[in-house]
Structure 1
Amino acid sequence: MNAKDVLRADLSRAHMMLKMLLGDLSDEDLLLRAVPGCNHLAWQLGHLIATEHQVGEMIEEGAMPMLPAGFIDQHGDDTASLDDPDAFLSKEAYLELYEKQRETFLGMLDRIEEARLDEPSPERMKRLAPNIGEMFHLMGSHELNHVGQITPVRRKLGKPIVM
């Protein structure tokens, strides 16, 4: 197993876990907050998609699929407190967008020369991911961070344990 194989496994496993935990949640469920002050799941999904898009564009400009107009702003810090269902997409729409971003991101990983994983990341990423390989890894760990925030919502709703 080489570095790219490990990164692909991390990204794939994180995404599988996200989809498992979201599987039986409704669009309305995505607007619940586990506790006051937490971001609801709809915003978090948009945030994950927007972040992966932006990171992918830093690695290979022009490679990531376009997001709907205003999507990144719609899922920025200023909108995290919104509870209006009309301000967010359906679960199906989020998952469709995420699949396109992730498929492209994994394709980018497949195409990149392994030696390039050691190249320094852009300045704005250095604190979290000092090189290109760490940028790929960050997207898997970032997704897992948010996966951990789905379980309290599931418990609040009385949903069954899925893992």
Structure 2
Amino acid sequence: MTTNEALKLGIDSADMICLMYLQDLTDEEMMHRPAPGANHVKWQVGHLIASENMMIDGILPNSMPTLPVGFADMYSKQTAGLDDPKEFHTKEELLKVYREQRAATLAALAKLSPEQFDKPTSIDYAPTVGSMFSLQGAHWMMHSGQWAITRRQLGRPPLM
């Protein structure tokens, strides 16, 4: 297995789990906060999409499609406390942007040579290009732990 294939496997595994958690949630349910001060699923998904765009484009400039106008600002720390669904994209819109961004991430990953994975970045939490790609799956998985709680609070059974 190549480095590209191993990193893609990690991203794809996280993708499968996260999309399973989201598949049957409604737009209204995605606004549920699992605890006071916790972020709702809709904000988290937007944050993850904007973060992926920023992280991958930061290490491989011009490799990611442009986000819709205002998208990153809509899912910033300043908007995390908002509870008005009109302030956020619909689930359908979020997943469309997600698919575009993820396709670009995987296309960029596929083009990397083995030597490029060790290239340093200027980011403390992902010091190499390889670690930045690894983070794409890990970041989604970290947030999906909260989605599991949200799902249970909404009466959904465990998925696995």
Structure-1-length-normalised TM-score: 0.96
Deviations 1:43-83 (A, max 9, x none): 00000000000011112211211111111011000000000
Query: What is the match of residue 4 of structure 1?
Result: 4
Q: Letter of the 1:15 partner, please give it.
A: D
Query: What is the match of residue 135 of structure 2?
Result: 138
1:47-66, aligned counterparts within 5 Å? 47-66=47-66
Query: What is the match of residue 93 of structure 1?
Result: 93
Query: What is the match of residue 102 of structure 2?
Result: 102
Q: CA separation in 2, counterparts of 1:146 and 1:93?
A: 19
- 2:145 pairs with one of 148, 152, 158: 148
Q: CA separation in 1, counterparts of 2:146 and 2:3?
A: 28
SS, match of residue 142 in structure 1: helix
Q: CA separation in 2, counterparts of 1:113 and 1:72?
A: 30
Gaps of 5+ in 2: none
Q: CA separation in 1, counterparts of 2:36 and 2:55?
A: 29
Q: CA separation in 1, counterparts of 2:59 and 2:110?
A: 13
Per the TM alignment, residue 88 of structure 1 is displaced from its structure 2 partner at its CA by 0.6
Query: What is the match of residue 158 of structure 2?
Result: 161
**Alignment size in residue pairs:** 160
Q: CA separation in 2, counterparts of 1:140 and 1:114?
A: 19
- Deviating beyond 4 angstroms after TM superposition, the runs of 4 or more aligned structure 1 residues are none
Q: CA separation in 2, counterparts of 1:9 and 1:41?
A: 24
Q: CA separation in 1, counterparts of 2:142 and 2:127?
A: 19
Per the TM alignment, residue 102 of structure 1 is displaced from its structure 2 partner at its CA by 0.5
Q: CA separation in 2, counterparts of 1:151 and 1:82?
A: 21
Per the TM alignment, residue 27 of structure 1 is displaced from its structure 2 partner at its CA by 0.2
Gaps of 5+ in 1: none
Q: Letter of the 2:15 partner, please give it.
A: H
Alignment RMSD (CA, Å): 0.8
Q: CA separation in 2, counterparts of 1:89 and 1:72?
A: 12
Per the TM alignment, residue 139 of structure 1 is displaced from its structure 2 partner at its CA by 1.1
The structure that is strand-richer by fraction is: 2
Identity fraction in percent: 41
1:65-76, aligned counterparts within 5 Å? 65-76=65-76
Q: CA separation in 2, counterparts of 1:53 and 1:4?
A: 19
> Does residue 114 of the first structure (1) align with residue 111 of the second (2)?
no
Q: CA separation in 1, counterparts of 2:144 and 2:13?
A: 11
Q: CA separation in 2, counterparts of 1:24 and 1:139?
A: 23
SS, match of residue 109 in structure 1: helix
